[in-house]
Amino acid sequence: MKINKPPKNLDRVITLLKEEVRHFENSVVSKIGEIQKDPFKVLISCILSLRTQDKTTGPIALKLFKEAGTPEKIAKMPITKLKKIIKPVNYYITKSKRINEISKTLIKSYNGKVPDSFEELMKLKGVGKKTAAITMVYGHRKADYIPVDVHVHIISNRLGWIKTKNAEQSMDELMKKIPKEYWHEINDLFVLHGQNVCFTNSPKCSICAINNYCPRIGVKRSR
């Protein structure tokens, strides 16, 4: 892959964000990866977290894993029970089906293990680039990808590091611009910064640790 010139002030931005996020709680997938050290639980937590706030996802993921924390146990669980457990997360009906299907596919085709390959993960129904990257980084502890969610996508564009239309494009562009030693921390730092300061609709630029380095591209309203 061709690596382009890294963004100006990259080092400074990372240092300042590290200082800023010390006061914030880690994201659910990061915490589950850290504590449980299980790629399957990271994968399932990531699916549960799609379009759902961390404060809802965390307790529901833990409740589910208490009942069933392996592909075998989830595959055996009646889908009505699975739906009931995960009901507080958004799109729980679709997510129940996906989680059930993924568990069955892992048993049938991968010996009950989560594949240790981005390409194989992408073959699982309902797993896109973001979920595959998160599973590789937080589940398999391999920093070969930059997981890009809405926060990483928006902040990178506001900083002017990239100019992209969606998170999938952002992942490709960031991996061309950011030196590999930063890949693991970019997701953690930008997600926490986005959840607590650089809000999607109205970022809190006045208290932002990196406002001296941000041209605020595309920001129409801020605090």
Question: What residue ranges bind ligand SF4 (CB under 6 A)?
Answer: 155, 158, 197-198, 203-205, 208, 210-211, 214, 216, 219, 222
Q: Name the minimum Å distance from CB 138 to ligand SF4.
A: 23
Q: Name the minimum Å distance from CB 59 to ligand SF4.
A: 29
Q: 32 or 214, CB closer to ligand SF4?
A: 214
Q: 33 or 149, CB closer to ligand SF4?
A: 149
Q: 131 or 157, CB closer to ligand SF4?
A: 157
∠ CA 203-206-212, rounded to 5°: 100
Q: Name the minimum Å distance from CB 70 to ligand SF4.
A: 40
∠ CA 39-43-44, rounded to 5°: 120
Instruction: From 211, 164, 181, 176, select the one nearest 13 (Cα to Cα).
Output: 211
Query: What is each CA distance from 149 to 69, 85, 193, in whole angstroms?
Result: 25, 25, 12
Q: φ and ψ at 89, to 5 degrees?
A: -85, 150
Q: Name the minimum Å distance from CB 189 to ligand SF4.
A: 11
